[in-house]
Amino acid sequence: MLISQIIRPDGSLAVVAREGSESAVVKGAESTYALAQEAIASGRSLTQVIAAHGLSEAVDMLRLAEDGRFTLPLTHPDPSHLHLTGTGLTHLGSASARDAMHAKLGGAETLTDSTKMFRMGLEGGRPAAGEIGAQPEWFYKGNGHTAVAPGAPLTSPGFALDGGEEPELAGIYVIAHDGTPRRVGWALANEFSDHVTERINYLFLAHSKLRQAAFGPEILVGDLPADVRGTSRIRRDGVVIWEKPFLSGEANMSHTMANLEHHHFKYGLFCNPGDVHVHMFGTATLSFADGIGTLAGDVFEIEVPAFGLPLKNPLAIAPATTGAVAVQAL
C-alpha cells in the first residue's frame, strides 16, 4: 500500500491510499499522523486502521500532481517535532563518489576518512538480527520547518556554495507513547546538500547538511524491497542534462536498515513520544560527482516505480547574504 496527503480545495488535508492503480481518499482521516496515532493506540497495523476507516471518492494521482495538490506525506502538528536526519557511506559504491570529494592533496594519506568509514560499514554493518553492528556516519538536517513538499522549491541559502541533489530512501517514523519508534513506512527523499562546502573539509559535512530536504509524495507501507532500482535526473529548461540509475535497498548497501535504525534511535532524545522522524539512508548517486553544477530553475527528479509518483522539486537560490548576523542583547 502507498499513502499520501493532499490538500483539498478548502485547504484541509486528506489522506489517499493506493493499491496498484486504484487510489481513493481514506474516510474520516484528518492526517497520516492521526492515522498513525490511532494505530499505535489501538495496537493495530496502519493498514488495518485504514481498512477499518474505509475509502471514499477515487482520485486521479497524476492530475493531483499536475495541480500541485500533494503536501508532505506525513507531518506533525508542530513542525518543531518533526526531525530530519540522515546517514551516509552506507551503499556499495558510495565511497567512490565521496572519496573523490575528500581526497587528500598530494596523496599524503593512503585512505581518506570517507574510505575508512565505508570500510567499517562493509566489514561490520550487517550484524545478525538483534545484534549491534558498526556505527555509520550520522548528521542532522533540520526539522519540519525545513521539510519541503513535493513540487515545491528546494532553496539554497544565500551563503551556500552549491545546491545539489542526493536521491535517497527515508524511513518515516512516529514515536509511540512508551518511547518506542514505530515505522510508518518508506519514502523517496532528496537529501539536498552543499557539496562544494563539504569538499573544502570533511569537518564541514555538518554545515553542508543544514539545508532543506524533500520527501514523498507517497509512503510505501510494509516491507522494503531488498533491491530498489530507479532513476535520478536533472532537467534544465525541460531538457534532461544528467541522469543516472538510483540503487538502494539492502541488496545494494553495506549496512542493514535495522543497524542504521538502531544507531539513530539508540539516543533517548530521539524517542520523545509523539515526535516524527524522517531518517535518510544515503546514496551512491550524485550529479556533483560527475561535475554537474546546478542552476536556479533546474528540476530534480527521483523516480522508483515501487514508490509511486516521482519526487520532483525545482531548485531556487536565495539572494546572497551580506554582512554578519547581528545578535542583540536583551
pLDDT tens-place string over residues 35-77: 999 999 999 999 999 999 999 999 999 999 999 999 999 999 9
Give yes or no for a contact between 311 and 21, defined as CB atoms under 8 angstroms apart. Answer: no
Q: Is the pLDDT assigned to residue 25 strictly greater than 50?
A: yes
- Per-residue confidence (pLDDT) for residue 118, from 0 to 100: 84
- Per-residue confidence (pLDDT) for residue 173, from 0 to 100: 98
Q: Is residue 213 part of a domain?
A: yes
Query: What stretches of the chain adopt beta strand conformation (E)?
Result: 2-7, 13-19, 22-26, 55-58, 82-86, 139-143, 147-148, 154-156, 167-175, 181-190, 213-220, 228-236, 239-248, 276-280, 299-303, 311-317
Q: Is the pLDDT assigned to residue 95 strictly greater than 90?
A: no
Are both 237 and 277 inside the same structural domain?
yes
Are both 48 and 162 inside the same structural domain?
no
Q: Is the pLDDT assigned to residue 108 strictly greater than 50?
A: no
pLDDT mean over 241-248: 96
Q: Looking at 45, 66, 87, which one is the last position of a domain?
A: 66
pLDDT mean over 85-105: 67
Q: Is residue 71 part of a domain?
A: no
Q: Is residue 35 part of a domain?
A: yes
Are both 102 and 56 inside the same structural domain?
no
Q: Looking at 66, 96, 120, which one is the last position of a domain?
A: 66
Listed in sequence order, the residues at least 6 apart from 128 whose beta carbon sits closer than 8 Å to its beta carbon are: none
pLDDT band at 99 (very low <50, low <70, confident <90, very high): low
- Per-residue confidence (pLDDT) for residue 98, from 0 to 100: 54
Are both 158 and 241 inside the same structural domain?
yes
More confident residue, 321 or 260: 260
- Per-residue confidence (pLDDT) for residue 167, from 0 to 100: 97
Give yes or no for a contact between 46 and 221, defined as CB atoms under 8 angstroms apart. Answer: yes
State how far the Cα of 292 lies from the Cα of 23, in Å rounded to an integer: 37
- Per-residue confidence (pLDDT) for residue 105, from 0 to 100: 41
| Range of weakest confidence among 81-95, 132-146, 280-294, 302-316 | 81-95
Question: Which structural domain, as residue segments, surrounds residue 186?
Answer: 79-317
Q: In what order do the strands lie in the sheet with 239-248?
A: 154-156, 311-317, 299-303, 228-236, 239-248
Q: Looking at 66, 89, 114, which one is the last position of a domain?
A: 66
| Range of weakest confidence among 98-112, 130-144, 198-212, 248-262 | 98-112
| Range of weakest confidence among 105-114, 207-216, 274-283, 288-297 | 105-114
Q: Is the pLDDT assigned to residue 178 strictly greater than 60?
A: yes
- Per-residue confidence (pLDDT) for residue 109, from 0 to 100: 52
Give yes or no for a contact between 8 and 220, defined as CB atoms under 8 angstroms apart. Answer: no
Q: Is residue 165 part of a domain?
A: yes
State how far the Cα of 304 lies from the Cα of 291, in Å rounded to an integer: 24
Are both 110 and 134 inside the same structural domain?
yes
The pTM is what? Answer: 0.94
Q: Is the pLDDT assigned to residue 102 strictly greater than 80?
A: no
Q: Is the pLDDT assigned to residue 222 strictly greater than 50?
A: yes
Helix residue ranges, H only, 191-249: 195-200, 205-209
Grid cell, residue 301, equals 527528479
Q: Is the pLDDT assigned to residue 250 strictly greater than 50?
A: yes
What's the chain's average pLDDT?
A: 93
Are both 56 and 112 inside the same structural domain?
no
CA triple 260-299-302, angle to 5 deg: 35
Give yes or no for a contact between 169 and 260, defined as CB atoms under 8 angstroms apart. Answer: no
Q: Is residue 312 part of a domain?
A: yes
